[in-house]
Amino acid sequence: MSMNNWTMKSVISATIALMLPFGAVKAQKIFRDWPLGTDPAAIGTYVANHYTGSQFASFGASTPAESIIYPEVCTWYGAFQVARATKNKDLLEKLVGRFDPLMAQSESLVPKADNIEHSVFGAVPIELYMRTNQNRYLSLGQPFADQQWDLPESLRPEQQKYSTMGLSWQTRMWVDDMYMITLLQVQAFRATANKKYVENAAREMVAYLDALQQPNGLFYHAQDAPFFWGRGNGLAAAGMTELLSELPLDNPNRSRILDSYKKLMAGIKPYQDKGYMWHELIDEPDAWVETSATGMFTFAMIVGVKKGWLDEKEYGPIAKNTWISLVKYINEAGDIKEVCENTGKKNNKQYYLDRRRLTGDLHGQAAILWCAAALLAN
């Protein structure tokens, strides 16, 4: 029998109170005083520990994964950020310990650096390097970042075109890529302090802004898929957020990226429903509520408020109220509901509206973890 909503929240809060270490990071004023069952440290730790007990890509998957792709990476990365924000050594050890058996027993799951959705895997070993100072992790992860610009022996004409523009040969011009390319390059910069990585990411980001952002601030999924798909826009928001958090102030592309970030944040505001949620297609009020997009927008707003990119009085209450609403979609197992399944581009509006609505899909789990960590971070 399922627990009622109040009981589930009480159990989560009481359980996590015992698991959290002392000295968790304090949030600023607007992001304090949480209602019962919505505390970011409790929720983030609960969802992260749930992830550590899962098999690779087991959330919402009917068959075992052939190799690790970006939803797994996004969730793993998010769980690391929660462990860092809460100073939770036990969680950190679980996340680190998840990797070595992968290499020793399931090496076939490690993807080749042959496309965007595979290459982003490198962000995980780079994170491991930053948490453990073990060079073997950097030696595994950094080549994934380098190979996005190092040309393979043969290229398709479109890949050659992007390469001659100074972009990654893996460029697709899908809005999803604005997070996947960015995260890997930003992680490589964090680990090495080599500016070429954020410069690559910034140059790539501007090309996507030119191609996909519309006058209302929202993004098409692709030039030949002119729809404001929720999660795609969420990934654009998250990608700009990660990049702006590290991009030097003197980078010539910074002001352009910051302006586009603010334009997107302003553009999504009118489309939020009365329950503080966004929908599968952002501009379709009758489309179903979609939690991964909502979580990604919330993450971007939280960081924007904390870093002063957004006005706290205008955006702080939106971010806080959205987090409180979003948490209501998490069940007692720690899985979030109403997550759009994995979605390729298509020039068909009904295709997006008819996407399956999953529970526990890693796209949604990741967004919850990003939000929780951002709420707790300094």
pLDDT confidence bin for 104, thresholds 50/70/90 = confident
Q: Structure tokens of 194?
A: 């080599």
Which two tokens mark 17?
């109170």
Determine contact, residues 195/135, Cβ cutoff 8 Å: no
Q: What is the pLDDT of residues 132-164, one digit of tens each?
A: 999 999 999 999 999 999 999 899 999 999 999
Radius of gyration of the chain (CA): 19
Please name the fold of domain 5-376. Glycosyltransferase (1.50.10)
Mean pLDDT (whole number) for 58-73: 70
Q: Once rounded to an integer, what is the mean pLDDT over residues 279-305?
A: 98
User: What residue ranges do the domains of the chain occupy?
Assistant: 5-376
| AA identity, residue 13 | S
Mean pLDDT, the chain, as a whole number?
91
Q: Which amino acid is at 293?
A: A
pLDDT at 17 over 60: no
Residue 278 has pLDDT above 60, yes or no: yes
| CA 209/CA 263 separation, integer angstroms | 11
Taken as a whole, the chain contains a residue count of 378
pLDDT digits (tens, 9 = 90+) for 195-209: 999 999 999 999 999
Predicted pLDDT at 108: 72
Which pLDDT band, with edges at 50, 70 and 90, does 65 fall under?
Answer: low
Report d(CA 36, CA 38) in Å as an integer.
6
Contact in structure between 128 and 134 (CB atoms under 8 Å) = yes
Measured CA to CA, the distance from residue 292 to residue 1 in angstroms comes to: 27
Q: What is the pLDDT of residues 208-257, one digit of tens each?
A: 999 999 999 999 999 999 999 999 999 999 999 999 999 999 999 999 99
Residue 57 pLDDT > 70, yes or no? no
Q: Could you write out the DSSP letters of every residue in 188-234?
A: HHHHH--HHHHHHHHHHHHHHHHHHB-TTS-B-SBTTB---BHHHHH
The reported pLDDT for the residue numbered 62 is 57
pLDDT tens-digit readout, 161-194 = 999 999 999 999 999 999 999 999 999 999 999 9
pLDDT in tens, 351-377: 999 999 999 999 999 999 999 999 999
pLDDT of residue 101: 82
- Per-residue pLDDT, averaged over 5-22, amounts to 47
pLDDT tens by residue, 313-347: 999 999 999 999 999 999 999 999 999 999 999 99
For residue 266, what is the enclosing H or E element?
A: helix 254-268
Of the candidates 49, 60, 59, which has an alpha carbon nearest to the alpha carbon of residue 12?
Answer: 49
Q: How confident is the model at residue 63 (pLDDT cuts 50, 70, 90)?
A: low
* Nearest one of 319, 266, 313, 273 to 296, comparing CA atoms: 319
Look at 10-24, 100-114, 235-249, 275-289 and tell me which has the smallest mean pLDDT.
Answer: 10-24
